[in-house]
Chains A and B, each alone.
Chain A
Amino acid sequence: MEVPVTVEDSWNAGGHRFSSRLLMGTGKFRDAKTMADAIRTSGAQLVTVALRRLAGGSGGTDDLLGPLLELPGITLMPNTSGARNAAEAIRAARLGRELSGSPFVKVEIHPDPRHLMPDPIETFEAARVLASEGFAVMPYMPADPVLARRLEDAGCASLMPLGSPIGSGRGLATAGMLRIIVRDARIPVIVDAGIRAPSEAAAALEMGCEAVLVNSAVAAAGDPVAMAAAFARAVAAGRDAFLAGLMPRGADAAMASATSPLTAFLSPVSP
């Protein structure tokens, strides 16, 4: 009798293997305990943190991140938020690696606080330098297929195009471009930013994205821990649907395709 073999569905970035397809940010939570509980519930294995200068003369322990660092199985991914150009992002990445011991860096360079759109030129330059220094570079980027290819060729570990502006909750506004990036990429594509509802995370996985990165959608939810659980299930369902293969979309929105026989309703069924 053949024994069915269960192959774990995992993905790989920068030589590291992950089973969870939900990445979590640590911002905006009302307190550290809620953050840690939500991240534990989400099952996230890659978790972003930011870097800031210490306020003058204050101590070096960080109460906010203490509970997070006690969670098992978490790899930190320091981001470079606050950097306005490649040089600042490179400096932040090196500091983040010194503090975390993690090779992962979320390169995030957004010079304009109104829209927080990533600067593609500075992002590319930072990614190129950091990849050559051995970082597992995860660039937050506009949903631009041409830039995606350039970042991939520069040695990035993944591509992290935005669904819509950071914290906007406008969902997958870039869906058309995301599909092109997913179709052409040879490294994982992770939708970062804009996701509000678990259904949007599921949609990203259904179109073939490897994972999603979520922060505000969980942190600013009515019940962040319950929302983390909802996202974990949505991401798993979206992945299962992708693997199962969606049915083809009808060519004409005005045309149906019957699922039941339409003829011979009142006639005897012919033998």
Chain B
Amino acid sequence: MEVIVNDMPVEAAQDGSVATLLEKMRISGPAVAVLLNGELVPAAARASSRLCEGDRIELFRFVAGG
């Protein structure tokens, strides 16, 4: 099935979770914050957060700033 990650279509496993998607994208956990359809998914809830076709995932990280 297809989900949208930061506006890009990405192939995800059926019944996959946020955690398995990040693993597949080789994104290390704690450095990235995740919104699923606009809602924050805490790191501890990533394995239990199931994905559905068309879900919108947004990934954020820290950058330099004042």
Q: Assess the B59–A51 pair: CB atoms within 8 A.
A: no
Q: B1: CB under 8 A from chain A?
A: no
- Taking CB atoms and an 8 Å cut-off, the chain B residues in 15-43 that contact chain A are 22, 25-33, 35, 40, 42-43
Report chain B residues within 8 Å CB of A50.
62-66
Report chain A residues within 8 Å CB of B29.
60
Q: A26's closest neighbor in chain B, by CB?
A: B64
Question: From residue B3, how far is it (CB to closest CB) to chain A in Å?
Answer: 13
Q: A216's closest neighbor in chain B, by CB?
A: B66
Which residue of the partner chain, among A27, A52, A57, A60, contacts B66 with CB atoms under 8 Å? A27
Question: In the bound complex, how far is the Cα of B26 from the Cα of A158, in angstroms?
Answer: 39
Report chain A residues within 8 Å CB of B59.
53-54, 60
- Taking CB atoms and an 8 Å cut-off, the chain A residues in 141-173 that contact chain B are 166-167
Report chain B residues within 8 Å CB of A98.
33, 40, 42-43
Question: In the bound complex, how far is the Cα of B40 from the Cα of A261, in angstroms?
Answer: 72
Some 11 contacts from A to B, beta carbons below 8 A apart, are: A27-B65, A52-B60, A54-B32, A59-B27, A60-B22, A60-B28, A61-B31, A96-B33, A98-B33, A98-B40, A99-B33
- Which B residues are closer than 8 A to A by beta carbons? 5-8, 10, 22, 25-33, 35, 40, 42-43, 58-66
Query: With A62-B31, A95-B33 in contact, is A54–B64 under 8 Å at CB?
Result: no
Q: Assess the B6–A56 pair: CB atoms within 8 A.
A: yes
Q: Assess the A56–B8 pair: CB atoms within 8 A.
A: yes
> How many A residues touch the partner, as a band?
35 or more
Report chain A residues within 8 Å CB of B6.
53-56
Question: From residue A73, how far is it (CB to closest CB) to chain B in Å?
Answer: 18
Question: In the bound complex, how far is the Cα of B22 from the Cα of A59, in angstroms?
Answer: 10
Report chain A residues within 8 Å CB of B7.
56
Report chain A residues within 8 Å CB of B64.
26-29, 35, 49-50, 64-65
Question: In the bound complex, how far is the Cα of B63 from the Cα of A51, in angstroms?
Answer: 6
Question: In the bound complex, how far is the Cα of B5 from the Cα of A255, in angstroms?
Answer: 70
Question: From residue A99, how far is it (CB to closest CB) to chain B in Å?
Answer: 5
